[in-house]
């Protein structure tokens, strides 16, 4: 999956990754995909809850070693 925007929030603890994601999403256009990189083990569940609460679509969560890659499609 090729994101429109990549946010590197590795080595940040909660709520850092969510704040970085929210800022990137606020600047993105509807339909764009934001990729969030995070090492915080709570990030995947936090992003799931945040996406459900904001209406943005969580497309995929993968893990490569200690790094989680989360793909979020910005809603209109």
Asked if residue 36 lies in contact with residue 50, where contact means CB atoms within 8 angstroms, the answer is no
Tally of structural domains, the chain: 1
Predicted TM-score of the model (pTM): 0.96
38-58 confidence digits (pLDDT tens): 999 999 999 999 999 999 999
What CATH number is given to the structural domain containing 56? 3.30.110.40
Asked if residue 61 lies in contact with residue 70, where contact means CB atoms within 8 angstroms, the answer is yes
61-72 confidence digits (pLDDT tens): 999 999 999 999
Its domain, for residue 32, covers 5-73
């Amino acid at each position: 999956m090729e994101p429109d925007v990549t946010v590197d929030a590795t080595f940040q603890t909660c709520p850092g990754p969510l704040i970085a994601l929210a800022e990137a999403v606020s600047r993105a256009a509807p339909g764009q995909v934001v990729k969030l990189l995070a090492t915080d083990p709570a990030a995947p569940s936090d992003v799931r809850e945040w996406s459900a609460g904001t209406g943005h679509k969580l497309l995929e969560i993968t893990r490569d070693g200690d790094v989680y890659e989360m793909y979020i499609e910005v809603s209109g």
